[in-house]
Structures are given as C-alpha cells and as structure tokens.
Structure 1
Amino acid sequence: MTYKETLNWMFQQLPMYQQKGASALKDKLDNIIYFSEVLGRPEKKFKSIHVAGTNGKGSSSHMLASILQEAGYKVGLYTSPHLKDFRERIKINGEPIGKRCVKDFISKHKAFLEYNELSFFEMTVGMAFHYFAEEKVDIAVIEVGLGGRLDSTNIIIPEISLITNIGLDHTQILGDTLEKIALEKAGIIKRDVPVVISESKPETEGIFKLIAAQKSAKIVFAEELPNENYETDLKGSYQKKNMNGVVTVLKELKGFGIESMHIKNGLLNCIKNTGLLGRWQVLGEKPMTVCDTAHNTEGLRMILSQIDKYGAKQIHFVLGFVNDKDLKDVLALFPKNAKYYFTRPNIPRGLEAEKLKQAASEFGLKGKTYKSVKVGLKKALNNARLDDFVYIGGSTFVVSEVV
C-alpha cells in the first residue's frame, strides 16, 4: 500500500473516535497490552511523562517537549488528534514520523490488527511507542487520548504524570460530574510515581489526593507553589495555568538537567520546536482572525474571555460542532450581539449547519448557514471591518479546515 492507501485503511477499516464517536472506544486495555507484547513491550524501553486532562493537556505536552528539547534531549511527543496530517501525532524533536515508517509499520502488522480488531487509536499508540523505542528517545511526552484509566496510553509507567484542567466533556463516556471525570483522569496515577495537578477544584482535589494516597504517589498542586513568571509563544492568558503545571513537573522530574534558561527558551519557542497548530492561532491581523481547538464549556469560557479583552466593536464567530456535543451549556456562553456563521465540519460526526443554527437561535444567537467552514470564513472576512474580531472554532475539525 502507498502512504495514502495506508491512511485510508487506518481511517476507514477500523473506527476512530474522532470520526465515529463512542462506538470506536474500547472499555479495556487487553488489545493494546497484547499488541505491546507482540511489539516487544516498547514502552518499557524509553522514559516518559504522561499528561491527562480535559483542557490544556495538548498545550502542556508541547511545552514539556519544547523545554526538554532546549535542554538537549531527544524527545518523543505523542498527541491527538491531528489537524492536517496524521503524522502530527508522532514526533521526535518536532519532526513528524516518516511516511515510510507509517506505511511499513502497518504493512508488517496488518494481519494482526485485522484479526484482533484493534481500534485506530490502539494501533496508533503501538506505532508511536515502537517508533520511540526504535529511535532511542531520551524521554517521550505522552498525551492521553480520552479519559485516562482506560486510555490506550495508560500502559506506560512514566517518570512523572501531569493532570491539567478538569471540565465537563465527553460526559456520555467519562461521566456527567466533575468528580466522575476526575476519577477517570486519576486513572493515570501509578504506584510510587509522582503526579502534578496543574489546576484543581474543590470537586476534584479530594479525589486526586485519595487516589495518590492509595498508590503511594507524591502529589503536588502547582497552584500552591510559587513559580517564575515565564512567557510563551502560545497565546492566550489561559496558558498561565498550563505553564505553572509544566514548570512544576520539570522541577519534580528526576535525572534530567533542566535549567531556568531551558524553560524560558522552551516556552518562547514552543511552536517552532514542536510545530503545534490550532492553539489561539492568529491567521490574520486586520481584522484580527484567530482559530482555536477549544470545544467544551471550560475551554470556550477561557477563549471568550480572551476575545473580550480585545474590545473589538464587532465579533464574527465561524462555528461548527460535532453531532454528539451537548450544545446547551456551550451556546449559552456566546454573546448575543455577535454575528454568526454556522458551518458543518467535514467529518461523519459533523453537526448539520441548519441544526446548529436552530439550536443557537434558542439562545438568541443569529446568523446564516454556509456549506463549508472555508465559505463561512470567507463571508466573515468580507463582512468584517479592520477593527473587528473573527473567530473560528467550536471543534478541532473546524480548525483543521482553516490552518
């Protein structure tokens, strides 16, 4: 198979959560454990940092990788989902895995993957761990895909774990309260492995302390510790909490020589070092045009606060969501005096633009529908004055169509 044929096989034959939703998920780790054994337990051949959370885990993972790179280490980075190219998920020092590596890995294990019906995410995790082991990385930053306890990445025994913001997202899978979701995220806490909590809440703090105590794991709450005021090229005031968690992790990480200069340079060069896309990404300045992958109430609340700080005369929102998103709490956050351009992300789970328009109208949000994200954005830019603000988001898949 060619590289393109390989990706088509991965995307279509075996379900992926981003496309199919909950039906793509497995409720146990048996398959990934079996696959890891076939691969020779590659996750045991490199050191790692495990990162979970509702919001901020992607940014935090990239910050950690960038800083470790600045310190001179060979750093693996596994994240999900990708925006433009599958290979964004698996990188070493900012360079994505080669197309031939992807193609050869799938070709070699295709029969096993088919026979055992591994999910898209399970095979991708196996590929990443195998690649990091083969390339002999000094350390890999591993971002949880969904949840934590039953996530395929949760077969690693990391040097340290990080749990970022906890919010209500994927409630049909992880639970409908912060406590239930925190319990799933806390599933990455391992015996005798320290864990850093970058942002805690009264509903979740006790759960993290309890699980850490049960596992004899040192627990550190980043908010309680004084940290230097660093700056980062990842825009958005909400990155402050992510930075606190990242800096705390590096202070607790043993066996690696991380100095203040590495932290400073790593945070300032995060995008350059890792190729991160879609986090408060500025697409234009007149009018100010920004996209962001925030897609739940916690993330969008922070985004809207950031937009409000610009004080634009008129805001234009190009929005799209997936069809299993609970829109009530999300749409209630958006201002009624903005202009809306309702679109449908180009995936099977994409919510029809007309349905989004109808749901939005119940909250006093008025606008028109457009046949694609790009068409909606073009119309918004045509309508916007130079001192207006244009925002594109609501879903990772909306952002992927404009970056």
Structure 2
Amino acid sequence: MSREEMTLERQLDWLYGIQRFGVRPGLERIEALLARLGHPERRFRSVLVGGTNGKGSVAASLASVLQAAGHSTGLFTSPHLTHFAERFRIDGEPVAGSELLTALEEVRPHAEAVEATFFEVVTALGCLLFARAGVNWAVMEVGLGGRLDATNTLSPELSVITNVGLDHTEILGDTLDAIAGEKAGILRPGRPAVTGVAPSLWPVLEQKGADLWALGRDFVFEVESLKLTGTALRLHWLQHDLPALTLRTPLLGAHGASNAALAAAAALRLGVGSEAVQRGLIATRWPGRLEYLEARGQGWLLDGAHNPDGAQALADTLGTLGLRPVRLVFGASADKAVTEMVQILGPVASDVVLTQARWSPRAADQAQLRPAWEAQGVPVREAASPAEALALAAAGTKQAAPIVVCGSLYLIGEVRGLLLEEGAEARERWQ
C-alpha cells in the first residue's frame, strides 16, 4: 500500500467513525459546512431524486442520459456496494483515490468544527468533488426523507420523487401522507418536478407549488418485453405534445420500467433530446438492483430489496420472468420489516439460505430471521457468512433458475465482491 493509500485509509477511518453519532436531520450543519467550503454546490446545476424505492435507479438513469446528451455529469448515490468512491461518479466513473483524499483533507477540519454527521460530510464531499471536476450537472440521490436531508441544501433545477412507502417511519412519520410530506420538501415552487407516487398522494406534493408531471396523469408506459438482459417499454404522453418513445433499459421489471420512464420524463423536461434519452437509458449501469450475473458456473440475480415494497417488486419481476420458485440467499437489517418482506418472498422461494452481512452492525442474525421463513413453510438453511451462504446455495446440482440474493444492500455489496472476485471494503457500515 502506497503512502497516499495509507493516508486515505486513515481519513476514511475517521469518516466511518462518525457513523456512530447516527442520523440527525436538519440543514444547519450542512449549510454551515458548505459555506466554509466556499459553496461548491453553487458551481453546477443539480437534480434531486428522492423517494422510498427506485431513487438510485432513476438517478443513475438520468445521469447516464445527461452524459449521453454531451453534459459532464456527476452522480451522487448511497450507500455504496463495495468501495466508498462509488458514491461519487463523474461521467460514469468513480472518483480517483487521490481526488477523494484531497477533498477529504479539505472537508474534515470544517466538518469537525460544525460537528457534521457522516452523511452531511459525504454530501459535502460530493459537492466539492463535482465542483472541482467542472461538471455541468449533478444528479443527487436524496438520503433520508427530503425536507431535512443534507442534499436539500442544494437548489435543484428539477426534482423527482419516485414513490412513497412505509419505511423509516420512526423518523419520517407512520402514514403515507406524512412521509410524502417529508419527501415533498425537495420540490421547489414553480420549478419542474416528476413523480411516480400514487394518485392519492398527488395533492400532498402539489401543495409545494412545483410544476409537477405525474406518472398516470401526464404520462404512462407499457412494458413491451422483459428478459434477464433488460426491459423494453413504450412511453406515452397524456397531457403534453410530445411523441411517444420506445425505450430500452437494463433495469428489470415493471418497477424498472417505471424508473426508466421517470428518468426519461425528467430528462425531456431538462431539454434533452429523445435520441439522447434512448441512448442514455440503454447505457445505464446500476449494480446490485435486479442485476443478473454468471459466476461459479451458476446464474445469480442480486437485488437490494430491503423493505416490503422492494420485496414485492422483486416477487412480481420473478413471476413475470417465469422464474418462480427460486432458491434465495437472504439477509436483512434488524430494523427492517422482515416479517412483511418474508410473507411476500415466501411464496416465490423453493428454499432459502439465511446469512448476514459481515460488516453491517445493523444486520439481523440467522436466528432472528429463521422464524419468519419457517412460518411460511420454506425450507431453511443457515450460513455464518456471505461466502459460506454462496457456497451452500450453489452446492450440488446447478439451479436452472438464477439463485436470488436479496434483503440488504450491505449484503449485496459483500456478495457481489465475492462473486466477481473484486473484494469489498472491510469496514463497519451503518449508512
């Protein structure tokens, strides 16, 4: 390891260490931090993408489209799968370690002075890295909620809210209206916005005064074909004089098509031409979300479905692909709605191997997960680690259908590194 790499590791040790202070919603610290850094967030145009599920897929798709249109584009997402630098992509590539180190060394003293949280530091890093790279656009995935999320200190040209489900209820509220209200905080009066939320929640979003286009009212889509290699869809406009578009995306399933449609609508509202939309969508890369891989002589489908809505989307896609029942490798965070997820996934499973992400202190152990699966009548085996779970799932006769790994993005990150023999960071992951 070089001296620069060792220095970067020490800086990351500090950054990961402040995860223990948890999430503290509010904009005061991030505003102070960005001011100390000279307001890098004002040196590029931005889009905020929030929602319960699919926001990363929409953000990655939109960034790819903007890049296809000739714009230098930053993409900010969380969490990462295997390496921290994945959170900051410029024109599709993670930032270099040297650039990350320089930014961390500049941000750290200011972050310590304002007592910034982990995600606030990460947001500031993204803004600084994108400003220094001279990007034209930055597509920023919102972390938690919207109104009080660190990304909301930016002034977006356009905002996207993918959908609203019951997740993080202890912070965002225990009703869909309350959660939608928090997520609607990223909307700006008079500025364009795109959403895929249920019609019952449109009034909550419309209270913010944004120029809102809603899936199901302003535009609709239909899935034309679905394969393990991707989805083809047709996008139609109901309220606007725009031509219908045939689009292809590597995102799988009806929810993948929905996310592609939202990204396409957002791009068109930003003035991107239809040809760039088509080229950008097909070029989208979003690992670990219904991603099909072949490794160890076996097909694998990796999906970070980590809540009931995500589990339902996974189950629906498996049904559409004709892959039910499948062998599952499952691990989840203890603070998630595990029972509800298992009730949805149980009917699609032939059997399940339970494990837990090694580097996530939030991970439920196998004994916590087992009763929910047994209640569904699914044969259960346990593995002490993701590596053991992969070996156990693949042992014996090759599965005709892909083995599905799901339940936690932290688990997906570890598994993906193992299957591709790329390794992963050996650090505790809370966020």
**Alignment partner, residue 426 of structure 2:** none
Q: Secondary structure at the match of 1:391?
A: strand
CA–CA distance in structure 1, aligned partners of residues 315 and 336 of structure 2: 18
Unaligned runs of 5+ in 1: none
CA RMSD of aligned residues (A): 1.8
2:208 matches 1:211: yes
Q: How many residues align?
A: 384
The alpha-carbon deviation at position 356 of structure 1 amounts to 0.8
Alignment of 1:27-176 (within 5 A): 27-176=25-174
Deviation larger for 331-340 or 143-152? 331-340
Which residue identity lines up with residue 293 of structure 2 in the other structure?
Answer: L
Structure 2 unmatched runs, 5+: 1-5, 220-235, 237-243, 417-431
SS in 1 for 2:344: coil
Extract structure 1 runs of 4+ deviating beyond 4 A.
none
Question: Is the contact between residue 346 and residue 373 of structure 2 (CA under 8 Å) also seen in structure 1?
Answer: no
CA contact (8 A) 2:308 2:337 kept: no
- Partner residue of 2:350 out of 338, 350, 369: 338
Post-superposition offset of 1:332: 1.1
Other-structure match for 2:250? 233
Q: Spell out, residue by residue over 1:109-131, the C-alpha distance to the aligned partner (whole angstroms, 9 max, x if none).
A: 33332233211111111111112
Q: Check whether the contact 2:268–2:274 (CA below 8 A) recurs between aligned residues.
A: no
Counterpart AA for 1:323: A
- 1:393 aligns to what? 406
The separation in 1 between residues aligned to 2:366 and 2:13, in whole angstroms, is 26
Cα distance in 2 between the residues matched to 1:162 and 1:202: 15
Aligned to 1:187: 185
User: The residue matched to 1:357 in structure 2 has which SS?
Assistant: helix
Q: Is 1:270 aligned to residue 270 of structure 2?
A: no
Change (3 A) 1:179 1:313: closer
Higher alpha-carbon deviation: 111-120 or 91-100: 111-120
Say if 2:51 and 2:162, in contact at 8 Å, map to a contact too: yes
Identity of aligned residues (%): 32
Counterpart in 1 of 2:224?
none
| Distance change >3 Å, CA 313–CA 155, structure 1 → 2 | closer
The one of 373, 378, 385 equivalent to 1:365 is 378
SS at match of 2:207: helix
Once the two structures are TM-superposed, the CA of residue 311 in structure 1 deviates from its matched residue by 3.1
TM-score, structure 1 as length reference? 0.91
**Distance change in 2, residues 1:63/1:312 (3 Å):** closer
Deviation at residue 168 of structure 1 after TM alignment: 1.4
1:287: how far off? 4.6
Q: Cα deviation per residue 1:297-335 (whole Å; 9 max; x = unaligned)?
A: 111101111112333474111000111112222111123
Aligned mate of 2:290, from 272, 277, 280: 280
Deviation readout 1:206-256 (Å, 9 max, x if unpaired): 2112223xxxx2111133222423111223332111122111112221xx4
Q: 1:4 aligns with which of 3, 9, 16?
A: 9
**SS in structure 2 of the partner of residue 161 of structure 1:** strand
The C-alpha deviation readout for 1:248-300, integer Å capped at 9, x for no partner, is: 112221xx4x22211111111112xxxx3112111228653200112111111
User: TM-score of the superposition, structure 2-length normalised?
Assistant: 0.85
Give the whole-Å Cα distance in 2 for the aligned partners of 1:283 and 1:229.
26
Residue 373 to residue 90, structure 1, CA distance change in 2 (3 Å): same
